[in-house]
């Protein structure tokens, strides 16, 4: 989770919201007269909008691409590394690269550079959201919402995001009771999470060895 030090505004999106935005995205693509032959969904965030766009645009060919551009996995010259390369010839094909949102824009830019090596006729990019802070080169050809920067919790990533946010709360506050974690999520991330939902997140967080329960109480501490 990048850009998540200190207070960070978070926002949950529903499945219906994602579906509606995928639909609006497809309408913009159609209006521009662009009909892709293949959709390339960036793993893992782009998979759901990519799948929806296949339906709305009538595209049968759907492939996945995973870019890596953080930390040790990047090549020394700063180029993106592709974790699971697609080895296919796209000549004569129009490709659409899809991600959930474009934050720094790095993923999109690097995915596009990679896809261009597969020699397609044309490559376009699309995301549901962009931010006020997204640099010009990171703005996709098609997008639906431009919003002030916020960490979007998409419905397919709520567990992972909440586990990360809980870990930040515990990192700051030390060992905490369920109710204090709940308050921490509200105060630091503007997220309201129900008690039972949080209990399930804590159980999964324990299973992943991210937190440790203290005694028999509903109190946890980060595993260092």
Task: Using CB under 8 A, count the residues that bind a second copy.
Answer: 38
DSSP β-bridge partners for residue 63 = 40
- For a second copy, the binding residue among 55, 137, 179, 217 (CB under 8 A) is 55
> Taking CB under 8 A as the rule, which mask of x and - marks residues 82-121 in contact with a second copy?
-xxxxxx---------------------------------
- Overall residue count recorded for the chain in this entry: 224
Q: How far is the CB of 88 from a second copy (least distance, A)?
A: 6
- For a second copy, the binding residue among 4, 34, 37, 47 (CB under 8 A) is 47
- For a second copy, the binding residue among 10, 25, 29, 50 (CB under 8 A) is 50
Cβ count near 50 (within 10 Å): 26
> Would you say 83 and 68 are in contact if contact means Cβ atoms under 8 Å apart?
yes
> Would you say 49 and 157 are in contact if contact means Cβ atoms under 8 Å apart?
no
Considering only residues 59 to 88 of the shown chain, the ones binding a second copy according to CB under 8 A are: 60-64, 66, 83-88
Q: How far is the CB of 10 from a second copy (least distance, A)?
A: 16
How far, in Å, CA of 154 to CA of 165, rounded? 14
Which residues contact residue 191 at a Cβ distance below 8 angstroms, ignoring those fewer than 6 apart?
10, 12, 153, 162, 165, 185
State the burial class of residue 40 (Cβ atoms within 10 Å of its Cβ: 0-12, 13-18, 19+): buried
- For a second copy, the binding residue among 15, 79, 92, 197 (CB under 8 A) is 15
Among residues 7 and 87, whose Cβ is nearest to a second copy? 87
How far, in Å, CA of 63 to CA of 194, rounded? 37
Considering only residues 143 to 172 of the shown chain, the ones binding a second copy according to CB under 8 A are: 155-160, 163
> Would you say 80 and 114 are in contact if contact means Cβ atoms under 8 Å apart?
yes
Can you give the binding site for a second copy, defined by CB under 8 A?
Answer: 15-16, 19, 30, 41, 43-44, 47-48, 50-52, 54-56, 58, 60-64, 66, 83-88, 155-160, 163, 204, 207-208
């Amino acid at each position: 989770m990048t850009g998540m030090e200190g207070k960070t505004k978070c926002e949950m999106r529903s499945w219906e919201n994602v579906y509606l935005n995928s639909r609006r995205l497809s309408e913009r693509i159609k209006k521009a007269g662009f009909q892709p032959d293949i959709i390339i969904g960036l793993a893992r965030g782009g998979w759901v909008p990519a799948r929806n766009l296949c339906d709305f645009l009538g595209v049968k060919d759907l492939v996945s691409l995973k870019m890596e551009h953080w930390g040790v996995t990047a090549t020394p010259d700063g180029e993106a590394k592709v974790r699971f390369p697609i080895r296919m010839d796209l000549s004569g094909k129009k490709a659409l690269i899809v991600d959930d949102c474009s934050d720094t824009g790095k993923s999109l830019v690097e995915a596009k550079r990679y896809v261009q090596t597969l020699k397609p006729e044309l490559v376009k990019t699309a995301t549901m959201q962009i931010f006020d802070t997204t640099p010009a080169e990171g703005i996709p050809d098609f997008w639906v919402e431009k919003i002030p920067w916020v960490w979007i919790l998409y419905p397919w990533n709520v567990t992972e995001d909440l586990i990360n946010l809980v870990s930040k709360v515990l990192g700051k506050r030390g060992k905490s009771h369920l109710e204090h974690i709940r308050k921490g999520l509200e105060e630091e991330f503007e997220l309201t999470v129900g008690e039972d939902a949080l209990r399930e997140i804590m159980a999964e967080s324990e299973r992943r060895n991210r937190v440790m329960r203290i005694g028999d109480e509903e109190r946890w501490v980060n595993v260092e």
